[in-house]
């Protein structure tokens, strides 16, 4: 019981922490140069 309940509770908490803490690097994902706000305003 302790192994089963402990395992699912740990996995759930780990996932939740990862989801809430991940900050995506959009430039890395889309393979484009990072565009700052000032750059956007110029365009």
**Contacts to other proteins by CB under 8 A:** 1, 4-5, 8-9, 11-12, 14-16, 18-20, 22, 24, 26, 29-30
Can you tell me whether residue 27 is helix, strand or coil?
helix
> How many residues make up the chain in this entry?
43
Tokens of 42: 């110029």
Q: Closest separation between CB of residue 24 and other proteins, Å? A: 7
> What is the helix (H) or strand (E) element at residue 23, kind and residue range?
none
Q: Closest separation between CB of residue 34 and other proteins, Å? A: 14
Tokens of 2: 């302790």
CB-nearer residue toward other proteins: 19 or 40: 19
């Amino acid at each position: 019981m302790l192994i089963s309940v402990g395992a699912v509770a740990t996995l759930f908490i780990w996932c939740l922490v990862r989801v809430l803490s991940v900050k995506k690097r959009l430039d890395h994902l889309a393979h484009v140069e990072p565009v700052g706000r000032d750059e956007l305003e110029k365009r």
